[in-house]
Amino acid sequence: MLFLKRNQKRNQKKKPKESVLTIRENVTSMWFYHFALDGKPICGTSDLTMPTNVPVDAWGWVSDHIHERYCPECTKRYNKMNIG
């Protein structure tokens, strides 16, 4: 959680102040991540997710051991948000 707070401060210029962007992990699929605004996955999935301490900047990073996966729909929507 400390991690996230630090990260959010750093990215303050990029995103709307009223919403907090975080990364959440699917409860049923291990190492499958979604972007979430105020705790709700932005792709609108009905899958259960749980909070992580993964910094938003780490989105897309895949380690050799874990092979993290990232929701393609969340990626699309996040890119749209950034482009505006």
Annotate each residue in 2-41 with x if it binds Zn ion (CB under 5 A) or - if it does not, as one string. Answer: --------------------------------x------x
Nearer to Zn ion, 13 or 52 (CB): 52
The angle subtended at Cα 73 by Cα 71 and Cα 79, nearest 5°, is 105
Q: Cβ of residue 74: shortest distance to Zn ion, in angstroms?
A: 3
- Helix, strand, coil abundance in the chain, percent, nearest 5: 30, 25, 50
Comparing CA positions, the residue from 53, 57, 58, 56 lying closest to residue 1 is 53
Among 56, 70, 74, 78, binds Zn ion (CB under 5 A): 74
The residues binding Zn ion (CB under 5 A) are: 34, 41, 43, 71, 74
